Amino acid sequence: MERCTMKKSLKFTAAAAMIGLMAFAAAGCGGGDKKAAVSNEVVKFGVTHFADNLDPADNFFSWVVMRYGLGECLVKFDEKMNATPWLADKWSISDDKLTWTFHINDKVCFSNGDKLTAEIAKESIERTFKLNTRAQSIFQYAEIKADGQNLIIKTKKPVPTLPGMLADPLFIMIDTKVTNRDIKKEGPICTGPYAVKSYSKAKAVMVANEKYWNGKVPFKNAEISTIDDPNTRAMALQKGEIDFATNIAAGDLQLFKDKAKYNISEIASLRTVLAQINMNEGEPLHDPKVRAALIQCLDRETYNKVLLKDTFIPGKAPVPPSLDYGFDQLKDPNAYNPENAKKLLAEAGWKDTNGDGYVDKNGKNLEIDFVFYSGRAELPLYAEATQADAKKIGIKVNMKNVDYNVLDPMRRNGEFDLIISNILTANTGDPEVYLNWYWKSNINGSQPQNSTGYSNPQYDALSDKLSVEFDPAKRREYMIQMQQILLDDGAALFFGYPKTNMVSKAGLANANIFPADYYWLTKDVCPKQ
């Protein structure tokens, strides 16, 4: 086995750790007595799972394909979110800023032995664009061609961050020569250290890719079990049922402080927990005064400092303070002010005329549906807190707990009043794509993640400037201005910013969490020597 190299996990200075709603007692768990050693026969991994299938072009399922060690991209993010070579070993851009040339590493091959050529890379990217509308919202190309091992991408306009965009798991390289395979059930043929043995939402089993291009794979098998409840994941790790796990609830992290038994990799994440607001015509939150009232009645500081025990930073802006995009200088016009919230509702014509505790207009109560999923511990907590505080000013909030695979179609179809998610804000290296996905005007399906009806011409104009700007300082300023517009418009409800973690047995090396949140089961995760 090749020697594993320990990597330092990036430490940001802002945000705080994920919390579980309850911590289980350490007594009686039995895991502390188990040996911390891990053999190279099998590694067992506990995760929150959301993918119905393994087609990287379907929904956001590509994240799972990469997290489980199957798929790789042309480009990878390092611990500082810099775009670095991966399957492409180098790239360049033309003087007119329209043509990029990526050289495919000659060593790269798929798990079936096929060589990754520029032609296959071209076909893989084209397949993604054909099957997933999200690709068009990341970048648009005029032409893609292969010249030997050079993949040449000509964009319709300058795309300053194209390498980082190709690091998004949506652009995982798959062997397009293989046409007789059910990718959804069997997984694609990829270049990663592991290949699919069996797959279901409950449990995925991977085997070592014997033809892996980038060194010896440390484990013969990897078993990835879905354990959606964070406290249950912690218990499974303590009992020795799994070797490592992601997103242990902060209240349970104390159970793993013994460094002789466990490793904790924890970073301030690039994530924002936010609720999108449906403001389409005819919806209750279409009225900006009603939106402002809802946001102002929510005591987000208490949610994060008390309910979440200071393990989240209170929400304010779209981009978390772990990224340098003006968090401190942004002004929130809808900071906590429940008395003003009541006034805004009255000004909008909502009053409690029948004494039932809820405001009404034209004989109908002000009711909103809050859609959430419980796979992340903080989401139902935020939803319940919203329901309680909204009631104080007369807004009735109906809770709707759904599976993630139900939630995402509901989001895209606009079937909600509020819908909450824990979102990675720099999935392509900086927040540009994130800011476009959720708030740039959705014209003829151009931004399918924005089903809220939000549209602001000033915001769109800044986004257009940002899209062709190469100067980092100007890009930063544009994104600060865009965020302020969103705050002024009450365009979304920003709850908080979490830490994220990975906890492992002491006998497992390099089970580290990274800012990009894509790299979980990697070739570097191995038995400790």
- Domain CATH code at residue 478: 3.10.105.10
For residue 437, pLDDT beyond 70: yes
Residue 151 counted as domain residue: no
Domains: count for the chain:
1
For residue 173, pLDDT beyond 60: yes
The helix, strand and coil proportions of the chain, stated in percent and rounded to the nearest 5, come to 30, 25, 50
Can you give the pLDDT at residue 35?
55
State the pTM of this model: 0.83
Residue 380 counted as domain residue: yes
Residue 486 counted as domain residue: yes
Residue 243 counted as domain residue: no
Share of the chain above pLDDT 70, in %: 93
What pLDDT digit, counting tens, does each position of 174-210 carry?
A: 999 999 999 999 999 999 999 999 999 899 999 999 9
Residue 352 counted as domain residue: yes
Query: What's CA 175's distance to the chain center, in Å?
Result: 26
- H-state helical runs in 393-439: 404-413, 432-439
Can you give the pLDDT at residue 224?
97
What pLDDT digit, counting tens, does each position of 237-288 carry?
A: 999 999 999 988 877 888 999 999 999 999 888 999 999 999 999 999 999 9
The SS3 assignment for 289 reads helix
> Which stretches of 98-155 are assigned E, i.e. beta strand?
99-104, 141-147, 150-155
Using pLDDT thresholds of 50, 70 and 90, give the confidence band for residue 36.
confident
Mean pLDDT value of segment 149-164? 97
Strand 221-226 and strand 42-47: the pairing is parallel
Residue 304: which region, alpha, beta or left (left: phi > 0; alpha: psi -120 to 50)?
alpha
Asked whether 236 and 46 are in contact (CB, 8 A), the reply is: yes
Residue 350 counted as domain residue: yes
Domain range for 436 is: 271-498
Residue 353 counted as domain residue: yes
Query: How far is 416 from 405, CA to CA, in rounded Å?
Result: 15
Higher pLDDT, 1 or 317: 317
Residue 418 counted as domain residue: yes
